[in-house]
């Protein structure tokens, strides 16, 4: 992804006191808004979610966390985005954080949306609002039945928006929001007793 035309807007504070900054494309394609969108996986190489959409402590919430398996190439793309963001935030730290921060200080506080534990496949952490996400079938039509209650086992292609930069105390990072989800098929579960 080309980050040359991306910008982080001034911080906004929500009614709950959460601080965030919109991240936008300064020259969107014709007929498009300034939001930054990308797909995780493709029809040829779809992704999966190992845990499904979850909330902390299993509480009901309109927004849930979802992690997608990503390839080594996608890890590199996000490493580049995080590097761009660290550079950008260091240059604009006075405007965004109201204090001067070095590149090293920014990098220390910046939380990547890519996680990898042990020898497991890397994941991209996103947010999903099940009531708002548009769900498509493999033919590009709205999927009958909408979003399955459990996404584990499905081959999927999420369309994700870089929504904003969250800022909390001394940490900050990207909020990646699933806007659309193409569901290709469900893998057959093999009975362990046969």
| pLDDT per residue as tens digits for the range 112-126 | 999 988 888 999 999
Average of per-residue pLDDT across 155-170: 95
30 burial (CB, 10 Å; 0-12 / 13-18 / 19+) is exposed
The pLDDT value given to residue 31: 63
Q: Report the C-alpha gap between 87 and 102 in whole angstroms.
A: 9
CATH number of the domain located at residue range(s) 6-186 in this protein: 2.40.50
**pTM for the structure as a whole:** 0.89
The structural domains of the chain, with segments of one domain joined by +, span: 6-186
| pLDDT per residue as tens digits for the range 9-67 | 999 999 988 999 999 999 877 667 899 999 999 999 999 999 988 887 767 788 999 99
Beta bridge partners of 156: 47, 183
Q: Which 3 state secondary structure label does DSSP give 85?
A: helix
Q: Minimal CA–CA distance to 165: which of 100, 97, 114?
A: 97
Show Cβ contacts of residue 192 under 8 Å, excluding neighbours closer than 6 positions. Answer: none
């Amino acid at each position: 992804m080309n980050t040359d035309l991306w910008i982080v807007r001034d911080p906004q504070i929500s009614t709950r006191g959460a601080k965030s900054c919109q991240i936008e494309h300064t020259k969107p394609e014709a007929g498009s808004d300034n939001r930054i969108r990308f797909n995780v996986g493709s029809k040829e190489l779809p992704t999966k979610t190992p845990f499904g959409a979850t909330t902390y402590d299993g509480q009901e919430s309109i927004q849930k966390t979802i992690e997608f398996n990503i390839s080594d190439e996608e890890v590199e793309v996000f490493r580049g985005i995080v590097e761009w963001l660290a550079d950008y935030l260091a240059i604009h730290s006075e405007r965004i954080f109201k204090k001067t921060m070095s590149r090293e200080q920014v990098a220390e506080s910046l939380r990547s949306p890519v996680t990898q534990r042990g020898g497991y496949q890397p994941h991209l952490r996103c947010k999903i609002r099940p009531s708002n996400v548009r769900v498509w079938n493999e033919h590009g039509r709205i999927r009958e039945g909408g979003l399955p209650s459990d996404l584990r086992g499905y081959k999927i292609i999420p369309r994700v928006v870089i929504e904003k930069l969250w800022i909390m105390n001394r940490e900050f990072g990207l909020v990646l929001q699933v806007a659309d989800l193409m569901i290709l098929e469900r893998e057959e579960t093999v009975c362990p007793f046969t």
